């Protein structure tokens, strides 16, 4: 063998590659861009990008809620809130900060425009009157003050051009400031806060997953091989493969994101699986008194094709994700596929090169015959399934039927923070704002005037007001802002600032007059809801997170309401915004993952057909790997796990990993048939030798994925749990159902031939 002949050169070359990788690994950065999870080339995304250029984004707002069970109208508390508001203005990249302590009311007098404080926080005698007025202010209630007046929000407007590092610095400084003030209870909301804290979690989890996976490798190998070399060789091999992958990503300057948390587990899965099969075969040959070199040569002669096929199917399975129109999933598929191939190359090159240089006794030490317990167990499994094929098939069918029932119960109604545990501070903050304020989810609609009209035309404003009132009347909506908000507010100012005057004027001359006043009062606010050409406008509302399914129903109902109540010859409305695009992308991704799974099925089918040149073998190989997918889908249905894109990806990951054991089993089975054994003898030999290896690898892989259960990100938690269950289910199917299928499909053919 070339590798054995040039083993020193190969080891040296790999060590050089590792050294180079270490140089580039520091280049790796963790990034998370929400918009990268949107569908590339989507018309709604293109529209939103143009819309943001005109009106800016509503995602640059941070909300800090301060809660007191005694109520917020307390002198000491209000003074602290006033100081806190002032200090927040000093934070980096903060443009403006508002709270009830600095918001001014406005009214028009004979002497001109005058401002007045809505809350005289220094004068306790005026608290009752001021709080009563604030409760009636349309632009304050539900936004700056909760309905029960026990919570108030400090609203920070942040520079829209802020970069990732500056976001992290801002949240860090804000946390320090909140801690310094020691308020009774605080909560933070806003996309910027969510993104930044999510970044931190991803960064921590990538590091923790590497550590936990390494620990699983070491502990598992100690239990299996119980020799220093038996532990170090596989561990070093997997670590080398992981270093080479991260070094390769560093060279290409590829950032890591939330999906990158799976890389350590995947490298563990593929690398350890290959190594267990290699070392188990090597140990078996040494146990039969084979010499070192012949044992190494025979091991790799028998397994190199099988390991190549398992690595190829796994890599192609991941590469199938590259059809996604979402960059993170496309990148993950390509990078994971490359990682699988790196693990294969290292396994097939590094391991034999090292085995040549170490004593066989460092891997295998002869022990007492009691270790033959593996053969006894697997022989018993073989006898059980060979004597009870109908029972095995019957039980498999029952499991399938129950699982299919569960599939019809699968829920795809995803929520913004459904991927965080209820104990997560992010989720607690989110629920607090939903309960006490107007919610956190942003609902946006673009307004377009038809037939060359203007939004400032009274007819257009009346149609917009209908839409505005329709949204305000929905119990799931809180504060709603639109172009009519501007004219209602100017009318209130013109009528002495009384809350009851917050209404739309009823003549065009007044609208024109108010248009000029609005520009003088707050030009920036004006252009936030009306574009410079006055042909487009914006509706922005805060609402409860009712879930993607209910949101789709609401959008459909709203479209019907518009068709029946709005004169579309004057204005038209179009739903847009980050939340809308996220829901749409999630639906697309779930479907897209099924397409990727179908591609993986086709690839495996082709490989199995080329390997055996027998269509029956294709069917035999797929059935034991379809059952785990159906079982997992059934479990999701019965347990209420929501199906979304990141969860749907487990079906592709689980399938391409689980099918490896089937390929190992069938390859060994074919090898034994070619040696002249009959079907039953070939199955029994395969069970004894390959069965042991696939049990060991599955157990290690199971714990490799189970380490993800530590995650506070529910999607990662469920990825670990469900893939782990899928691997165990696939193992049971390979040990019990696969032999039965071989007997049923091939045994009859053999009997017919004889």
What is the 3 state secondary structure string of 649-692?
HHHHHHHHHHHHHHHHHHHHHHHHHHCCCCHHHHHHHHHHHHHH
For residue 77, CA distances in Å to 14, 66, 100, 142, 696 come to 64, 10, 12, 20, 62
Look at 183-187, 413-417, 528-532, 601-605 and tell me which has the smallest mean pLDDT: 413-417
CATH code 1.20.1640.10 for 2-34+197-417+583-753? yes
**Residue range(s) in the chain whose domain bears CATH number 3.30.70:** 60-189
Q: What is the mean pLDDT of residues 366-389?
A: 76
Q: What is the pLDDT of residues 439-494, one digit of tens each?
A: 888 899 999 998 878 999 999 999 999 999 999 999 999 889 999 999 999 998 88
- Of the spans 101-110, 397-406, 493-502, 591-600, which averages the highest pLDDT? 397-406
Check if the beta carbon of residue 684 is closer than 8 Å to that of residue 379.
yes
Which letter does DSSP use for residue 734 in this model?
Answer: I
The CATH number of 60-189, from 2.40.350, 3.30.470, 3.30.70, 2.60.40, is: 3.30.70
- Asked if pLDDT for residue 749 goes beyond 70, the answer is no
Confidence (pLDDT) at 723? 87
Quickly state the pLDDT bin for 747 (edges 50, 70, 90): low
Confidence (pLDDT) at 366? 64
For residue 481, CA distances in Å to 487, 529, 530, 701 come to 11, 8, 11, 52
DSSP-assigned beta bridge partners for residue 153: 65
Q: What is the pLDDT of residues 610-639, one digit of tens each?
A: 877 888 888 888 889 889 999 999 999 998
DSSP-assigned beta bridge partners for residue 186: 66
Dist. CA 44–CA 46, nearest whole Å: 5
Dist. CA 716–CA 707, nearest whole Å: 10
- Asked if pLDDT for residue 750 goes beyond 60, the answer is no
Q: What is the mean pLDDT of residues 413-419?
A: 75
Confidence (pLDDT) at 370? 44
DSSP-assigned beta bridge partners for residue 432: none
Q: Which bin fits 23, alpha (ψ -120 to 50), beta or left (φ > 0)?
A: alpha
Dist. CA 396–CA 739, nearest whole Å: 13
For residue 746, CA distances in Å to 84, 284, 568, 677, 734 come to 78, 28, 68, 13, 16
Check if the beta carbon of residue 360 is closer than 8 Å to that of residue 292.
yes
Structure tokens at 644: 């979304």
3-state SS, residue 427: helix
- Taking alpha carbons only, the member of 600, 711, 698 closest to residue 648 is 600
């Amino acid at each position: 063998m070339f590798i054995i002949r040039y083993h020193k050169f190969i080891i040296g070359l790999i060590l050089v590659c590792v050294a180079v990788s270490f140089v580039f690994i520091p280049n790796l950065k963790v990034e998370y861009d929400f918009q990268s999870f949107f569908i590339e080339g989507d018309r709604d995304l293109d529209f939103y990008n143009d819309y943001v250029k005109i009106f800016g984004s509503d995602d640059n707002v941070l909300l800090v809620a301060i809660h007191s069970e005694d109520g917020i109208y307390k002198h000491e508390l209000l003074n602290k809130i006033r100081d806190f508001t002032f200090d927040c203005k000093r934070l980096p990249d903060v443009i403006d900060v508002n709270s009830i302590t600095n918001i001014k009311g406005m009214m028009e007098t004979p002497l001109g425009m005058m401002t007045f404080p809505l809350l005289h926080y220094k004068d306790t005698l005026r608290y009752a009157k001021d709080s009563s007025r604030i409760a009636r202010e349309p632009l304050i209630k539900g936004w700056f003050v909760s309905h029960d007046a026990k919570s108030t929000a400090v609203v920070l407007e942040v520079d829209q051009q802020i970069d990732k590092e500056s976001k992290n610095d801002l949240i860090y400084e804000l946390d320090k400031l909140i801690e310094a003030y020691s308020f009774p209870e605080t909560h933070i909301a806003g996309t910027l806060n969510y993104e930044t804290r999510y970044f931190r979690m991803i960064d921590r989890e990538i590091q923790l997953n590497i550590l936990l996976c390494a620990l699983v490798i070491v502990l598992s190998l100690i239990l299996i091989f119980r020799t220093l070399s038996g532990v170090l060789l596989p561990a070093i091999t997997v670590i080398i493969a992981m270093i080479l992958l991260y070094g390769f990503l560093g060279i290409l300057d590829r950032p890591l994101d939330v999906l990158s948390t799976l890389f350590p587990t995947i490298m563990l899965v593929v690398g350890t699986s290959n190594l267990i099969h290699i070392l188990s075969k090597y140990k078996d040959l040494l146990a039969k008194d084979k010499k070192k070199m012949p044992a190494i040569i025979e091991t790799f002669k028998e397994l190199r094709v099988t390991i190549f096929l398992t690595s190829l199917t796994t890599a192609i399975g991941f590469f199938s994700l590259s059809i996604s129109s979402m960059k993170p999933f496309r990148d993950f598929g390509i990078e994971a596929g490359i990682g699988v191939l790196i693990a294969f190359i290292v396994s097939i090159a590094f391991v034999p090169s090292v085995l040549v240089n170490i004593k066989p006794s460092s891997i295998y030490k002869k022990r007492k015959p009691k270790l033959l317990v593996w053969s006894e167990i697997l022989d018993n499994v073989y006898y059980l399934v060979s004597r009870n094929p109908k029972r095995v098939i019957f039980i498999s069918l029952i499991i399938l039927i129950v699982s299919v029932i569960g599939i019809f119960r699968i829920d795809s109604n995803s929520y913004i923070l459904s991927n965080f545990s209820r104990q997560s501070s992010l989720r607690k903050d989110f629920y607090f704002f939903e309960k006490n304020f107007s919610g956190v989810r942003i609902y946006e609609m673009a307004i377009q005037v038809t037939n060359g009209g203007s939004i400032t035309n009274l007819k257009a404003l009346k149609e917009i007001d209908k839409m505005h009132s329709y949204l305000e009347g929905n119990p799931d909506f809180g504060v709603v802002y639109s172009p009519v908000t501007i004219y209602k507010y100017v009318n209130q100012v013109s009528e002495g600032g009384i809350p009851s005057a917050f209404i739309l004027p009823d003549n065009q001359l007044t609208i024109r007059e108010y248009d000029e006043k609005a520009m003088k009062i707050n030009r920036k606010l004006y252009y936030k809801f009306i574009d410079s050409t006055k042909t487009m406008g914006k509706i922005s509302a805060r609402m409860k997170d009712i879930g993607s399914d209910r949101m789709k129903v609401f959008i459909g109902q709203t479209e019907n309401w518009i068709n029946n109540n709005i004169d579309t010859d004057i204005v038209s409305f179009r739903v847009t915004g980050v939340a809308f695009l996220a829901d749409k992308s999630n639906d697309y991704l779930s479907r897209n993952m099924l397409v990727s799974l179908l591609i993986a099925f086709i690839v495996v089918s082709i490989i199995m057909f080329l390997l055996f040149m027998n269509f029956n073998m294709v069917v035999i190989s797929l059935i034991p790997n379809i059952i785990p997918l159906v079982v997992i889908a059934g479990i999701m249905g019965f347990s209420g796990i929501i199906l979304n894109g990141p969860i749907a990806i487990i079906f592709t990951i689980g399938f391409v990993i689980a099918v490896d054991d089937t390929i190992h089993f069938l390859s060994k089975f074919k090898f034994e048939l070619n040696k002249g054994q009959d079907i039953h003898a070939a199955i029994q030999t395969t069970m004894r030798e390959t069965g042991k290896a696939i049990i060991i690898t599955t157990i290690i892989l199971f714990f490799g994925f189970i380490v993800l259960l530590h995650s506070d990100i529910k999607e990662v938690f469920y990825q670990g749990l469900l893939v782990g269950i899928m691997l165990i289910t696939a193992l049971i199917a390979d040990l019990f159902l696969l032999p039965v299928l071989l007997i049923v499909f091939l045994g009859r053919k053999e009997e017919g031939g004889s």
